Chain A
């Protein structure tokens, strides 16, 4: 009888981070939330890997993490601009008795 091949699960950290950068660029909050839940689940039940394997995965994802960090920074700055915009639009829509 043939033995079943061992099912090997590899956590594709690099692509998870790339997907997060893409979702952040598109301000796709649903996708970001899904990814956050996935990461939380992985933290609760980590895939068994030896230290060297984890280090390799982390090394490979390093550059994507730097990109994600920069996307996060520009998003923060853009959200600042969007807040100003939202505030000014809200101000225009509100009724201010006694003005004008």
Chain B
């Protein structure tokens, strides 16, 4: 076996392997800026030696193809952190919009939704001003005007919150389209990978699949399950199947009880997706938790203020001498035919904020006097002013209830901001690590290229030498052994 011919074969295999490895380096350099590309390294494999009469003869080398450098543990951790960071970013954006409705901007005295806190104070103070002059039209107008401002700002804030809900539904619909496009693509890639690379490295296809999964994990909370033949199944964090190897289930949306719900395979998964992470999770948490809480607090405030003020006004006599239909604190019933209300009388708590409005136009209809009291009587006005200091809204005064609502909202924004900062820091750390591992470093590639070039030159030298020996041997006509 140890012939010049076999030596040619050996060195040819070396030249071929070097050339193949150089192609891998060239591909790395070409894809240095390609998003999602993981650098590849050549795999060298010694050809099985040939054994003759107990002597082993080397058979050269083969470059068996490239392997992408990536780590699934790191990819998984990065995907998890991206889910959390995307969820908190989406939620934070919505929370900032909610907060802008209730908290004045710096340097400004009122917020986007007016200043409900001041409106509450002004409204009850207007009754205090009326106490001294219960028949004065100007003071009555002031009560009416401050009631309109309060009702208007509460109703506008509720309408803005409803608009934000609708905007979130639209954003969520956009996210659902992206999710469905990605799961379709991942299912197709699974099929290609399973048919072309069932046991090993899938190269470009794997790069594409990893990149798609990374994008998907920013949109929705997912779990990955590796299946046989290099396949992959993807579920939501609560276990609903999104991709099963080469098939995918599409997310759909539908209206249930006036609210957009999300379905997967016919099952309503809205609640599960809200807590699952990703942009979609953040949107749903903002819509179903943060906005809902704010709306419900406003509804409670509007309902209790309207009900208490109406009840008190209905227990008095207006400037035209008309009595309400209520019963006063002394247990005396009014003789009126219809109730004397200032605000729209709520029938239920839900929707009270949006519906809050002033129903009287004539300031004379403010019942400043008690039953049987004359135009100079202010006893019912005093009672209405005192409502400001009574626990009429969920056991708190109206101002304290509103202040606490704004304070809780501020704390929530602050908490989510903190979480978002930490999660973004975590994503930065992991991306840096992933780039160091899988990214193409041009200096490293230049160094590898230099090594391969030297190896190729050395093989060429051997080839050239063998050629010289072969020529000499042919001239002599004698076979020359090479050992």
Contact = CB atoms under 8 A, between A and B. Distances in A.
Contacts, number: 60
Given A21-B425, A67-B418, A85-B433, 17 more contacts: A21-B421, A24-B425, A25-B425, A26-B432, A67-B421, A71-B422, A74-B425, A75-B425, A75-B429, A78-B426, A81-B430, A82-B74, A84-B73, A85-B71, A85-B74, A85-B437, A88-B73
Interface residues of B, number: 21
A81 B430 CA distance: 9
Contacts of A67: 417-418, 421-422
Contacts of B424: 25
Closest 5 CB pairs of A and B: A25-B425, A70-B422, A74-B426, A71-B425, A81-B77
Name, among A21, A26, A78, the residue most crowded by chain B CB atoms within 10 Å (CB to CB): A78
A27 B432 contact: yes
B426 A75 contact: yes
A27 B435 CA distance: 14
A65 B245 CA distance: 45
A66 interface: yes
Interface residues of A, number: 21
Given A25-B428, A25-B429, A63-B414, A73 B77 contact: no
Interface in B375-432: 414, 417-419, 421-426, 428-430, 432
Nearest to A75: B429
Nearest to B429: A78
- The interface residues of chain A, by DSSP majority, are classed as helix
Contacts of B430: 78, 81
26 contacts: A21-B425, A25-B426, A25-B428, A25-B429, A26-B428, A26-B432, A27-B429, A63-B414, A63-B418, A67-B417, A67-B422, A70-B418, A71-B422, A71-B426, A74-B81, A74-B426, A75-B425, A75-B429, A78-B77, A78-B430, A81-B73, A84-B73, A85-B71, A85-B73, A85-B74, A88-B71
Contacts of A77: 426
B15 to A, nearest CB: 27
Interface in B414-461: 414, 417-419, 421-426, 428-430, 432-433, 437
Name, among B421, B423, B428, B432, the residue most crowded by chain A CB atoms within 10 Å (CB to CB): B421
Nearest to B419: A70
A75 to B, nearest CB: 6
Contacts of A75: 425-426, 429
Given A26-B428, A66-B418, A70-B418, A82 B423 contact: no
Contacts of B429: 25-27, 74-75, 78
